[in-house]
Structure 1
């Protein structure tokens, strides 16, 4: 129970005459305020001291009203964003102009979507394309709101919030995110960002409204610290930002909950949307894009099959290596023991400026004479490949743009290039409808889930035949604002090296307890040797 709830409970226990008198005093005290939060979670969110607040959960909890109410009553320069420009305009018309200002459009510029009176301003905007984040570069706001935050990309959120600042003495600065549980894989970063509140697997869960503090280490990775600081990081005193989550419920919003009509609307939604919007479940299912290459439920099922240790006696067969030698991205290594994948190894590219640095990491983590598959298509992997080969390590150069002469399992479809083939083969391996089901076991990771479910595909014509074509990498990066390194590393690990999927008898002696032995069975068509 919040402090405000305790006060309200005490008020309810007063005699009717005293309670009525107190209510009148409250009305009198707030009569000059343009907006007052509803008692309960909305008021808790309004008075919350966190630098970053996520107020969300069920639909109808008064999230958009909170955004506009804070902008009007507590801040000088506010930026309220929706992913789509037209949605931002609708939000301004409905909440700010329609409800708070009761139709008064004084100070409103409908072209620029900006309200300005005196020194106070509220700007509404969209961020439809990933690159649209650049429009807000260098433009400071003491309040930045991401309304329906799960529609945004993580790169947009992190970039735009850089300019959450003010030069006005005493003016508070904060970031507020509002929204419901994600219904697409692109929004899973929100659960990761507020993992202490939303991820049931978090080792140290936080209570609603509890402040947690976060800073970045020398590698740029976010870490939780024990207070605002200062904290000595890289020889410098660094102050941490506070973060929290407050759940919103329809029942806390009397404007919508009173007649039950909106609740009936939510009751009629399809199950996956009902779980997210009506019930506010952050573990709800995700609705896939019709042309999504790998269905989300297949990846989730593979992660549910995962165990902390590989099956007994199964050696390491392959390591998929997505190289970020000296770059801003991370090197991602995916060791594979037949159909069981180990937790991915993630190393900042800045720590491995040379190809020998990356190959050194690979050698340190390699076991059982495993084959190494190195991405040589982006310009970084060539020196890694050469160094490993010169040291007698079995290594495969993966180049996604190369021609593929393979076909889908049913022999009906060609692949437009090697990258499409590799991803589609992994899709086939995850398919639960295949004889015996899928044995793929993937480590639990929202990053990996988001990457594997990100690419789309289409069926095109190639050489007079139908061919599968995966979404081009440059287009995918532009859409997501990131590369799918975690997913690429896993699919590369599956593309080459030893497997026993076709004949489990081959490793029976190993399964009895003998480890480290080189398995004899290779991929069905000896494909690694034919390329």
Structure 2
């Protein structure tokens, strides 16, 4: 009996090099006529991602690793009812063309609805969420696989809400979330590095290996919290089932099909930092900042790198308080000690639902009679009243109020208080400043500060700087920049000095906001 030969992707690619066009055509006909699978993963990272038991997989990093093929392959061979998302509908064209290439036909595809009826009674949908709130279009739509192509293009809120309807009524069908993508090229995609921090953040205290599973729950503050394993854990009064995540890196070196076309040379010719991002999947290579970004990303990262915890913090000079009422936004508190900021304090908006609870959240953190700078619009006005009623040192911050501050160069005015506080924060973060400030390592704070954009407008005969609408930041982040606003408010003009005649508070353990 002749020895059986196991054909791998590599050996098949080697054999195909010796086939003439007629032989290749005959091979295609034999495969179509037989029982060959429609798609099989390549050995290596793609196979590992296909087989991974993680609830949420991030596959990719570098370009050319077969990311889109993995998503299509799952829809074709593993899942029953899947959906592939791109941020914009026009970006789905490439997915349509690739699926047509795999199947050899567009039969079963309804381009109007974006639904593809596949062999084996499988269904694949194509979806897009260009605007931040477009996730509502898919609210309640059940799929056993939520698949994201170029995950760094999505806002965090979009991703978290879309995966909320991962379900099936068929117990034998596995449910999974698979994301594919390259490192973020703008600050808006930085949340991905936070979500998979154990694999992507070089400063993570407990780094994970590629393909390793880690388990997470959402704690009472609405934040991700890593837990030891898949067993049920108690969070507040509820028992929760942890969800697992993993990251599996890949590159063009793992894709024999693209290697044979010379695609690697194309990636090698890219300029930096794009070359490092796309060729090596370097998530720490510098992302290109938009031209009108107020604070350069590298300045914020440098400020966070300067930060060290302090036992002796020195006098508190100001607190920035950005209150929220319910929803996904958080109440955030920034504690400033001259040019050093303590770690950010946050709580769900429901905790500060009115003036008394908002004031109760802030008071335990006040030291040295420091001024509390409060966003006094909406819920902030009620919090302001209660803080004033406690005879505390308080400054109402109204972003739309006129400003008389100029840039350090003295050549451009500020359009309003919001422009003033963010531009003064920018100047304090400038690495050439005599004593640039230090900010706590906080990925949400980094995203908040780098999402702010500005424009130059005219005020009579002079030029002025104006921050773009806060709604634009919400579109980029999928949430309000609470932490960034809290820090920026400590740079507004007119903050009074600490007043020893006012109440001060001894250093003590802060009141638990859940019981305030």
Structure 1 unaligned runs (5+)?
1-16, 500-515, 517-531
Q: Which residue of 1 aligns with 2:384?
A: 385
Q: Which residue of 1 aligns with 2:365?
A: 365
Is 1:54 matched up with 2:38? no
- Does the aligned pair in 1 maintain the 2:400–2:418 contact within 8 Å? yes
Is 1:108 matched up with 2:105? no
Of residues 118, 135, 149, the one that matches 2:151 is: 149
- Does the aligned pair in 1 maintain the 2:221–2:347 contact within 8 Å? no
Is 1:75 matched up with 2:79? yes
In structure 2, what is the Cα distance between the partners aligned to 1:244 and 1:154?
Answer: 17
Report the CA distance between 1:231 and its aligned residue: 2.3
Q: Which residue of 2 aligns with 1:470?
A: 467
Q: How many residues align?
A: 476
Q: Which residue of 2 aligns with 1:452?
A: 449
Q: Within 5 Å, which residues of 2 pair with 1:516-527?
A: none
- Does the aligned pair in 2 maintain the 1:326–1:350 contact within 8 Å? yes
Deviations 1:150-208 (A, max 9, x none): 11100110111111111123111111001111121111111111111111222222211
Report the CA distance between 1:333 and its aligned residue: 0.7
Q: Which residue of 1 aligns with 2:18?
A: none
Report the CA distance between 1:245 and its aligned residue: 1.0
Report the CA distance between 1:31 and its aligned residue: 4.9
Deviations 1:485-510 (A, max 9, x none): 110000012225479xxxxxxxxxxx
Q: Which residue of 1 aligns with 2:280?
A: 279
- Does the aligned pair in 2 maintain the 1:338–1:498 contact within 8 Å? no
Structure 2 unaligned runs (5+)?
13-29, 498-504, 506-516
- Does the aligned pair in 1 maintain the 2:299–2:431 contact within 8 Å? yes
In structure 1, what is the Cα distance between the partners aligned to 2:421 and 2:220?
Answer: 35
In structure 1, what is the Cα distance between the partners aligned to 2:430 and 2:259?
Answer: 43
In structure 2, what is the Cα distance between the partners aligned to 1:79 and 1:46?
Answer: 16
- Does the aligned pair in 2 maintain the 1:129–1:479 contact within 8 Å? no
Report the CA distance between 1:113 and its aligned residue: 2.8
- Does the aligned pair in 2 maintain the 1:376–1:399 contact within 8 Å? yes
Q: Which residue of 2 aligns with 1:301?
A: 302
- Does the aligned pair in 1 maintain the 2:417–2:492 contact within 8 Å? no
**TM-score normalized by structure 2?**
0.87
Is 1:97 matched up with 2:100? yes
Q: Within 5 Å, which residues of 2 pair with 1:1-400?
A: 18=3, 21-23=5-7, 31-93=35-97, 95-98=98-101, 100-102=102-104, 104-117=105-118, 119-259=121-261, 261-309=262-310, 314-325=314-325, 328-377=328-377, 379-400=378-399
Deviations 1:290-318 (A, max 9, x none): 111111111111111111117x6731100
In structure 1, what is the Cα distance between the partners aligned to 2:118 and 2:38?
Answer: 14
- Does the aligned pair in 2 maintain the 1:336–1:494 contact within 8 Å? no
- What's the RMSD between the two structures over aligned residues? 2.4
Deviations 1:109-139 (A, max 9, x none): 2233321147321112222111221121111
**TM-score normalized by structure 1?**
0.85
- Does the aligned pair in 2 maintain the 1:325–1:358 contact within 8 Å? no
SS of alignment partner, residue 437 of structure 2:
coil
In structure 1, what is the Cα distance between the partners aligned to 2:249 and 2:468?
Answer: 36
- Does the aligned pair in 1 maintain the 2:449–2:484 contact within 8 Å? yes
